Structure 1
Amino acid sequence: MLGVVIWTDADDSKAIIRCEDHGELAFLSQPAKVESGAEKLDQGDLIQFDLEEHRNLRMAHNPRKIEQQYCGDIKAVMESAVKVQAEAMPNLPPKNSKLLNFTRAKQRNTLGSVGSAA
């Protein structure tokens, strides 16, 4: 499967990927100690990966970078999408300035056991 990295957390070696099939997002969580030859993934990179589905989650494995900064303007695109949504649906509650705020989820450790019981 091919996909574009839309969010990364380098400290935890995690990423969220928009997949070529336009299905659900895929989640990547690599071991804390990745191999020395492993490439660092950044927002906007085009990658190829193996995909596994666990219940209703899509998990990416074995990522291989195809092109660095393939979609270098992904942050601007996402910010624009938020503005368009706010204009189209003015009755939605206002969002904070962060597009993807995973801090609360990380603090609650809600994603910590993803895929542990298949």
Structure 2
Amino acid sequence: MYGVVLWSDVSDKKAVFWCEDHGDLAYFGGSQDSQNITFDAGDLVEFDVTLKSKLRTASNPRVVREKLDVDLPAKLLGNGPVKRAAQPSAEILPFQSRQHVCSPACGGRIA
């Protein structure tokens, strides 16, 4: 499978790949074989994919082309769902001042 690196941690040799099939992201957790591999956001990589406990994992990654699209993570963030301003969910009615007339028990006075 081919993919583009969205995020990587150089010290831990971990990375997240956006896959060519536009399915779930693939997570690479590092391995002894990857000690000399360095990933940067935007790199095009080729890797094997397996599904483990509903988690798509990448193995045997290799960089095909460095810096193919370094702006891809920012582009994807910019293309998320549009946040709309909250719409009022109720009609707000102003209180009107009114006079209260007591019952005959209080003498019928206006309070």
Name the TM-score class by shorter chain. Answer: 0.5 to 0.7
- Residues 1:43 and 2:41 are matched in the alignment: yes
Flag structure 1 segments of 5+ consecutive residues without an equivalent: 93-118
- After superposition, the CA RMSD in angstroms is 2.1
Q: Moved runs in structure 1, 4+ residues, more than 6 A? A: none
Flag structure 2 segments of 5+ consecutive residues without an equivalent: 87-111
Question: Rg bigger for which structure?
Answer: 2
Identity of aligned pairs, percent? 35
| Alpha-carbon separation, structure 2, partners of 1:73 and 1:66 | 17
| Alpha-carbon separation, structure 2, partners of 1:24 and 1:74 | 16
Cα deviation code 1:13-67 (max 9, x no counterpart): 11010000111000001137844xx221111000000111112111100101000
- The answer as to whether partners of 1:13 and 1:32 remain within 8 angstroms in 2 is no
| Alpha-carbon separation, structure 1, partners of 2:4 and 2:83 | 27
More helix by share: 1
- Per the normalisation by structure 1, the TM-score is 0.64
Matched residue of 1:39: which SS?
A: coil
| Alpha-carbon separation, structure 2, partners of 1:43 and 1:77 | 12
- The answer as to whether partners of 1:7 and 1:16 remain within 8 angstroms in 2 is yes
